[in-house]
Amino acid sequence: MAQEASSSTSSKTISLKTGDGEIFEIEASAAKQMKTVQRLIDDLGDDITIPLHNVFSKELPKIIEYYKKDITGEITKDFEAEFVKDLNDDEVKVLFLAANYLDANKLFEFLSQNIADRLESKSVEYVRKYFGVENDFTPEEESKLREERAWSFRGIKEDE
């Protein structure tokens, strides 16, 4: 299809297609905050539906909600608290990965802090599961490390 040169208006919307085939609309000004999307727009034009292979229909609406508030300058501490209140740790992780993929800096920063808050004082095993880390230490190696860093483990919950 021939691309027409379109005059950009402030109310222009961009179509995004998730990895599981759903289509969402966002304002062009919100799209600007997601550098990955903006790069795709620059390459493909703003009339084409932008494909996002690694973002899915479960998390994209939440991200769009965040940036809707951002472009009107309404993001407050209360809004951010409310935004993550009902999300469990896995849901936050998925949002965070999406923000990272989309190169959406403000959301990325906010979720980094939120994940850090959630992981604080959690057990080593919990953090391993959360980041999908395979423990490749032998029990001897691990207990030696723990002993060397004894001060570090004072505030941390015991593994189940």
77 binds another protein, rule: CB under 8 A? no
Nearest-angstrom CA–CA distance, 154 and 50 = 49
Nearest-angstrom CA–CA distance, 79 and 82 = 5
Nearest-angstrom CA–CA distance, 18 and 15 = 10
Number of Cβ within 10 Å of residue 142's Cβ equals 13
In the structure encoding, which two tokens stand for residue 100, read together?
């990272």
94 binds another protein, rule: CB under 8 A? yes
Here's the x/- map for another protein, 54-73, by CB under 8 A: it reads as: x-x-xx--------------
Please report the sign of the dihedral spanned by the C-alpha atoms of residue 86, residue 111, residue 107, residue 55. negative
Report the nearest approach of another protein to the CB of residue 62 (Å): 13
Backbone phi and psi for residue 50, each to the nearest 5 degrees, phi listed first: -80, 125
Q: Which stretch binds another protein (CB under 8 A): 1-9, 34-42, 74-82, 119-127?
A: 119-127
Q: Which of 6, 22, 79, 146 binds another protein (CB under 8 A)?
A: 146
1 binds another protein, rule: CB under 8 A? no
Give residues in contact with another protein (CB under 8 A): 19-20, 54, 56, 58-59, 93-94, 97, 100, 112-113, 115-117, 119-121, 124, 127-128, 131-137, 142, 145-146, 149-156
